[in-house]
Structure formats: structure tokens, C-alpha cells
Amino acid sequence: MKKSNINFEIDLDKDNVPEKIQWSATDAGEELTETKSISISLWDHVQKNSMRIDLWTNEMPVDEMKRFYIDCLGGMAQSVLNSTGDEFMAEEMNLLCEKLVKHLEKEMREQK
């Protein structure tokens, strides 16, 4: 059986706020790659609920953070479709993504 590892290395400041986030994976060459934000969800099959880890550095701009979460939601929509075949749920999630993108575009116009 093949095993694959995904590793995260987080440098924290004195207040335990991430200053630097790096990740590596055995299937991606194992080289550390820097990122500004991570969002990990796990399903606890015993408790029947999810556990989340969301981390970001102070260098992550707010507009990029919003875009990141829209992209996460779009990815979840595709995962719902692939794993369950539920087209309605996936479409509703994608419609929400489109609505949120329009909201961000409006915010950007108003800031100029």
C-alpha cells in the first residue's frame, strides 16, 4: 500500500499568530512551499461533525482572504458533486460563489 504525507510548518510570533506558513507533500516533491493561508476540514465519523483548522498570516490581504474562501466554497461544490452526485447542492453552492464574487467586485469598485 502506498502512503502519502502532507506536512505543515507554521512559524508563530510571541502571541501564537502565524508569521509564516509552509507545506510539503510526498506527491508534490516534498519541497517546502510558502502560503499565506490554509483551511483544513476533517470529518469526525464518531461524533458526526467536522473539525476545522483555519490559519492565515498577517500578510494575507483581506480581499485575497475573501477570494480564498470563495474558491474553497467552489471546490467544495465540485467535491459534493463528485462524491455524492448531488447536482442541486453543487449548483446552489456555485450560485452562492457567483453572488459572492459580484459582492467582492462591488466592494473593489467602491474602494477606488
Do 55 and 71 reside in the same domain of the chain?
no
Q: In this structure, are 14 and 49 located in the same domain? A: yes
The answer to whether residue 17 scores a pLDDT higher than 90 is yes
Average pLDDT score, the chain: 95
In the prediction, which pLDDT does 56 show? 97
Q: Residue 15's domain spans which residues?
A: 1-59
CA separation, residue 96 to residues 59, 92, 107 (Å): 27, 6, 16
Total structural domains within the chain: 2
Per-residue pLDDT tens digits for 66-108: 999 999 999 999 999 999 999 999 999 999 999 999 999 999 9
Helices (H), the chain: 62-84, 87-111
Question: Among 59, 80, 99, which residue terminates a domain?
Answer: 59
Task: Assess whether 94 and 50 both reside in one domain.
Answer: no
> Is the predicted pLDDT of residue 112 greater than 90, yes or no?
no
Residues ≥6 apart with Cβ < 8 Å to 25: 4, 5, 6, 7
Q: Output phi, psi for 64, to 5 deg.
A: -70, -35
pLDDT tens figures, 23-75: 999 988 778 999 999 999 999 999 999 999 999 999 999 999 999 999 999 99
